[in-house]
Structure 1
Amino acid sequence: LARGVTILGPASGDQACGEDGLGRMLEPSEIIEHLQLQLQPELLVGKNIVITAGPTWEAIDPVRGLTNHSSGKMGFALASALHDAGANVKLISGPVHLRPPHGVDCINITSALEMADTVKDNISDCDIFVAVAAVADYRPVTNANQKIKKKAETLTLELVRNPDILAMVAALENAPFTVGFAAETENITEYAAQKLAEKRIDLIAANPVSGDNSAFDSESNELTLFDRNGNSHLSRCSKSLLAQKLTKEIAQRYHETYPAKDT
């Protein structure tokens, strides 16, 4: 990996031993698609990209906190694919158990406030911003200095809104091409279209996060892409292959939006 070698697989599913899970070979069609995407011309040479990934952790006390099931795998796979497309990639990641992709500058943070501040510090010369991270919408108003003891039958937590990082970047005077992710349990099309319009971003990648097809902590994913011209679907496949497909879609839309920056 340190030499730029790409390992394809393993995939998740039924195995010869009768078990189900991670360990089977990719389907030949997926291997061919991987190779076709990797052998295409570098689509984002010299572009500066900031991408966020993983969950955030909002502390309640020194032991407990509010978080979610995001593994960071989709964001890390996309950071790697963007780097392979020739971009200079800066990855801002919440707490995950993943090795940073080869050639990608990774900055580790914990909370939503830390992620917002880190994005602000690195966005000035950014051409493309991709918000994959599952950032907590709320955080506790207070963070107890000591572990909260189990005394009462009920415990009330007061929460306050976290900054909307995606909207913050999209509202900048010289905003980069901005891509957001929408993790939804229902009405994916409706909520993604609403998010696209309200935050005035360039592209939304929506994915399901409930039931058997949940993207959280999975080796595979599917995406529905929304922009001002409509929507298109990227079928379920491994996250590494999906990241390559999404990179191609981002590059195409970026060059259509900012043709002058390619001259």
Structure 2
Amino acid sequence: MFSGKTILLTAGPTYEAIDPVRFIGNHSTGKMGFALAECFASQGAQVQLIAGPTNQQTKHENITVTAVTSADEMYAAAKQLAPAADVLVFAAAVADYKLKSVSAKKIKKSGNELTIELVKNVDIAAELGKVKKPGQFSVGFALETDNETENAQTKLRKKNFDMIVLNSLNDSGAGFKHDTNKITILEENATTAFDLKQKSEVAQDIVNLIWKRLHA
């Protein structure tokens, strides 16, 4: 189905260093992103998978994994690979902020409070959305806790996505650390809701809809 197509896919969390032993991160496991990579690959695509720190693994011959840790590393890899991709899928849970200054040595415990200064990370999807080439199809993910649809629609337009996959943490069995997920896919003129399913099945639903849009 995707034979001859190249997919750029980001997955997992990013870790932003505080010092040599501590970091800021999130609960993303990378399961959804890896499920998507496997699904695309099984349909004949060549997948460039940029993965943050995760225990997920793949041995599919059509998947090339680039392992990264921080948002800056993920952006550098994505920026390099994006021009050759037919489809861009931003499934990673990228940390919004990083340390303004990372300590070269372990910060010692001192006093009852510790203040660290954060600065905003690069918005990988937004930056690549600015240079999206004609014919490239871009898919984003939004994990929301309130005003879900409104927030997802804003991201759809702001980041130049063709579609965005909405997850709500208010849905039981969806989001981080689950083998299941419940999604709604938003497009400029369409909304498609799905039931709670195994992430492998969710991946197939997403891939099928992308294929339909590419061949509409």
TM-score category (smaller protein): over 0.9
What per-residue deviation string (whole Å, max 9, x for no partner) do you get for residues 182-227 of structure 1?
A: 0111221111011112222101001023563341010000110001
The residue type paired with residue 45 of structure 1 is: S
- Give runs of aligned pairs for residues 1-263 of structure 1, distance below 5 A: 43-103=1-61, 104-172=63-131, 174=133, 176-210=136-170, 212-256=172-216
Q: Deviation of residue 180 (structure 1)?
A: 0.2
SS in 2 for 1:193: helix
Count matched residues.
214
Q: Shift of residue 238 of structure 1? A: 0.3
User: Which secondary structure state, in structure 2, belongs to the residue aligned with residue 160 of structure 1?
Assistant: strand
Structure 1 residues 101, 247: closer, same or farther in 2, change over 3 A?
farther
- Alignment RMSD: 1.3
Please, what TM-score do these two structures have when normalized by structure 1? 0.79
Unaligned runs of 5+ in 1: 1-42, 257-263
Question: Which runs of 5 or more structure 2 residues have no equivalent in the other structure?
Answer: none
Q: 1:101 to 1:184 in 2, by over 3 A?
A: farther
Question: Normalization by structure 2: what TM-score?
Answer: 0.95
Spell out, residue by residue over 1:146-200, the C-alpha distance to the aligned partner (whole angstroms, 9 max, x if none).
Answer: 1111102111111111111111111115262110000111221111011112222
Structure number, greater radius of gyration: 1
Distance 1:169 1:136 in 2: 17
Which residue identity does 2:37 align to in structure 1?
A
Note the alpha carbon deviations across 1:106-152, whole angstroms, 9 max, x for none: 11000000000000111121100000000001100111111111102
Percent identical pairs in the alignment equals 42
**Where has structure 1 moved over 6 Å in runs of 4 or more?**
none
Query: Offset at 1:100?
Result: 1.9
